Amino acid sequence: MPIWAEWSFIMKAEILRKRLNIFLILCSVALLLVIIWQQFFMAVTVTQQGIQLVQPAPAVSANLSWRWFGEAGPGAQARQAEEDEQEQLAEASINAELLGVVRTQDRATATISINGQPEKVFSIGDEIQSGIELLSVTTSRIILNERGRCVQITMRRPDNMLVRASNVQAGNTAASRLQNNFSLPNMFNAVPVQLENNATGFQLDSLSEEIRTLTEIEEGDVIIQVGNNSIDDLMANPGQWMNYSTETTLPVTLMRDGQETTIYVNAFSLSARILPNINIESMQ
């Protein structure tokens, strides 16, 4: 092969090698950029997810309230002041009495006795009578759509929920009639609290000496279960409280000084002693 031909072949091979090297370098740079972009995208995604995970949950005291025959949960006084400033509505024409309300972040129910019948639990949107729909539930009243006009039913405030021991006979008669209307929360000043497992409990405050003697419940105890029902179950369906009216050894699970313990409550005896005036008046 002539020298010039050999030299030409070498030059072409060198040019081809350089072009191949440049191509490989460009591919490596492109691959590196892709890897860097993927790492950056994953880091941003993880950061965003992390922010979402550590967002604090809404405080229970701001979103959860419970009231039964005049007993109020946390924050109720502030909400009551706001509600008092709202427009006052006419009272509903139906013969109905508001016995209790339960409000959580995503649920609101009202327990109502209509025409003196056993109480029933209604949710927003339910029709409590023909042509009468439940529109709103607050700590002290409910608002109804009564055939096209907004009306209210306010919660009565009994001055005294205690039947004196001197009237035991009348109390026993009342208890026998109250079996279908009995509600365990009537007995206690109960405040809903959130437990570590995100379940709900009832913290008991301002207990009378008689209640502490009859039940062995101490001030500050947090009830986490009644019978076989958790507090969340009972709040979702307050009507289940009625099932305990005749129990003489009702198991109540509670937290006391950080320890879980179970006591046994004579609900039948308590129902004869502690009655809402609203029911006593209807029995007379």
pLDDT for the residue 28: 80
pLDDT value of residue 179: 40
Task: Give the rounded distance of the alpha carbon of 238 from its chain centre.
Answer: 12
User: What is the rounded CA–CA span in Å between residue 102 and residue 237?
Assistant: 9
The confidence score (pLDDT) of residue 41 equals: 63
Asked if residues 108 and 135 have their Cβ atoms less than 8 Å apart, the reply is no
So what's the pLDDT on residue 6? Answer: 66
Average pLDDT of adjacent 10-residue blocks, the chain of 284 residues = 65 76 80 77 51 38 45 46 61 86 69 83 89 86 90 66 34 39 49 69 73 77 86 73 75 86 79 43 34
Structure tokens at 252: 């109540």
The whole-number pLDDT of residue 3 equals 65
Q: What is the pLDDT of residues 235-249, one digit of tens each?
A: 777 667 667 777 778
What pLDDT is stored for residue 270 in this prediction? 66
The Cα angle at residue 137 between residues 135 and 143, in degrees rounded to 5: 45
Note the pLDDT of residue 215.
Answer: 75
Tens-digit pLDDT profile for residues 275-284 = 433 333 333 3
What lies within 8 Å, CB to CB, of 59 at 6+ separation is: none
Q: What does the alpha-carbon distance between residue 226 and residue 223 come to, in Å, rounded to a whole number? A: 8
Identify the structural domains of the chain with CATH numbers, from first to last: 60-154 (2.30.30.830), 165-283 (2.30.42.10)
The confidence score (pLDDT) of residue 219 equals 81
Half-sphere exposure of residue 105: CA atoms within 13 angstroms, side-chain side: 10
Are the beta carbons of 113 and 104 closer than 8 angstroms? no
Show Cβ contacts of residue 222 under 8 Å, excluding neighbours closer than 6 positions.
Answer: 193, 195, 201, 202, 203, 204, 254, 255, 256
DSSP string, 47-79: HHHHHHHTSPPPPHHHH-EEEETTB--TTHHHH
